């Protein structure tokens, strides 16, 4: 299965919760691909492994937290530069997070559910990415492909062991890459 974004705009959270009481609500009142991703997260029974460059979509973060509360093992590998905004929410909820604090970027975008379903593609977990960007998510249970991603996740999980410290860094849009290397190289000494 493949999900393409954008698929219409922002979904109304009131409608998603059961009833939108705003007469002139201009948000979507139907299921979206972001909702389909949320449903896949809600269907997890044993484990969710997330390897994501940008992780800021509240709907998907809340679904991860709820899965964790239900006893599903949730592990997240992310890039330090793109997690700081969501870090407080997921670490306060007790999710197991490992962070790439290296000079290179952890640019993967994939998730493995119950070691049986792989989701991968260009989509970073952002609300604006779902509503505006041209993105895709490929979903498969093909064992050979799944095994490659499981192996990569486990390799990163071991590589970043002990690296759950999230550094909060001011970032300007023009200097993200330059600041990242300067900041991290200064911390090495």
Segment 138-161 shows an average pLDDT of 97
Q: Is the pLDDT of residue 173 over 50?
A: no
For residue 172, what is the enclosing H or E element? none
pLDDT above 50 for 185 = no
Residue 145 CA to residue 180 CA, distance in Å, equals: 32
User: Among the options 107, 143, 147, 155, which is catalytic?
Assistant: 107
Instruction: Give catalytic status of residue 21 as yes or no.
Output: no
Q: Tell me: the pLDDT tens digits for 56-95?
A: 888 899 999 999 999 999 999 988 766 656 766 888 898 9
Give the DSSP letter string of 8-51: SSPBPHHHHHT----TT--SB-S--HHHHHHHHHHT-SSEEEEE
pTM of the model: 0.80
- Residue 46 annotated in active site: no
* Helix extents (H) in 21-170: 33-42, 58-69, 80-92, 127-131, 143-159
User: 31 an active-site residue?
Assistant: no
Pairing of strands 96-100, 109-113: unpaired
């Amino acid at each position: 299965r493949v999900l393409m974004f954008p698929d219409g705009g922002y979904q109304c959270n009131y409608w998603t919760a059961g009833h939108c009481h705003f007469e002139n609500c201009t948000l979507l009142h139907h299921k979206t691909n972001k909702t389909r991703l949320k449903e896949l997260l809600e269907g997890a029974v044993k484990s969710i492994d997330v390897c994501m460059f940008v992780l800021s979509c509240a709907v998907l973060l809340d679904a991860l937290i709820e899965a964790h509360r239900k006893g599903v093992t949730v592990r997240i590998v992310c890039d330090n530069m793109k997690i700081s905004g969501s870090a407080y929410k997921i670490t306060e909820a007790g999710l197991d997070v490992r962070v790439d604090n290296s000079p290179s970027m952890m640019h993967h975008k994939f998730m493995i559910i119950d070691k049986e379903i792989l989701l991968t593609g260009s989509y970073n977990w952002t609300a604006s990415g779902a509503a505006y960007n041209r993105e895709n998510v490929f979903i498969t249970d093909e064992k050979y492909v799944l095994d490659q991603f499981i192996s990569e996740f486990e390799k990163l999980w071991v590589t970043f062991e002990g690296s759950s410290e999230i550094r909060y860094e001011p970032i300007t849009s023009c200097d993200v890459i330059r600041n990242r290397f300067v900041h991290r190289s200064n911390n090495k000494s």
